[in-house]
Amino acid sequence: MSFITPELIISGVSLAITLYFWLVKASNERPNLEFFQLSNFRATLRSVPGQADSKRLCISQMDTGGVLVVNQSTRQDSVVVFDCFLKSNDANIRGDWGFTGEDKPPWNVGPQSTIAISPACFFEVPAQFKIPDDMTFKMVFYTASGTQFSHTFTKEAPRFQADEDDSRKSA
C-alpha cells in the first residue's frame, strides 16, 4: 500500500500554490511608501527675538509639491505627521515639522498611486551656523497605520541622468 497517491500530490501542489499567492497578497497589502525629491529645498536663517545665541533655520520647498510619495501597497495609507533631523558635524538636531502653503497633513496616498507634498522643517541652530551647500536632513514620516518611513533629503534635488543609449534610441 502506497502513501503517495496522485490525489495527495495534486492536493500538496494546490496547497503550495495557495500559500504562495496568500504570501504575495499579504506582501502587497503591507504599508510601503517611498519618497523622491523632485525640487530643491530653500534654506533660510532668521534671528530669534530675544535669543542672540541662536537662529532659526527654515528648510522648505521652493516649488509646491516638491516631494513625491509613492504608495507601492494595494491599500491606501496616510502620512499624518513627520519628524525632522538635521545632520550637523556636532550631532543630529531634532526640529519641528511644517508645510508649504495650504499643503498640510494628513496626506492621503491611494493604493498603488502617487501624490506630491510640500514638507518644511524648522531647526534652532547656533548663531554662528552657516548653511552648507551639501546640507542633508532626514524626515521620518508616520502613517495612520503606525508605520514609519524615513528618507534623507538634500538641499539640492538629485539629478538623474538619462542613459546615452536611451537618448539615441528615441532620436
What pLDDT digit, counting tens, does each position of 62-117 carry?
778 889 999 988 888 899 999 999 987 767 889 999 888 788 889 999 998 999 99
Tell me what the pLDDT averaged over the chain comes to: 84
Q: Which CATH class is domain 31-157?
A: mainly beta
Q: Is the pLDDT of residue 163 over 70?
A: no
Alpha carbon distances (Å) from 128 to 52, 53, 55, 104, 123: 10, 8, 8, 31, 14
Predicted confidence at residue 169, as pLDDT, reads: 52
Q: Is the per-residue pLDDT at 14 higher than 60? A: yes
- 11-20, 46-55, 100-109, 139-148: lowest mean pLDDT where? 11-20
pLDDT computed for residue 145 by the predictor: 82
pLDDT of residue 153: 93
Per the CB < 8 A criterion, the answer to whether 43 and 155 are in contact is yes
Tens digit of pLDDT for each residue in 125-152?
A: 888 888 888 889 999 999 988 899 999 9
Per-residue cell: 104: 498640510
Rounded distance between C-alpha atoms, residue 115 and residue 65, angstroms? 8
In this prediction, residue 24 carries a pLDDT of: 65
Query: What is the reported pLDDT for 162?
Result: 59
By three-state DSSP, how is residue 73 classified? coil
* pLDDT at res. 34: 93
* 26-35: average pLDDT: 76
Best CA proximity match to 79, nearest among 116, 42, 40:
116
pLDDT at 59 over 60: yes
- More reliable by pLDDT, 23 or 153: 153
- Contact call for residues 152 and 84 (beta carbons, < 8 A): no
> Is 143:149 a contact under the CB 8 Å cutoff?
yes
What distance lies between CA 108 and its chain's CA centroid? 13
What share of the chain has pLDDT > 70, as a percent? Answer: 86
Set of cell numbers at residue 71:
504608495
Q: Where are the domains of the chain?
A: 1-30, 31-157
Q: Is the per-residue pLDDT at 160 higher than 80?
A: no
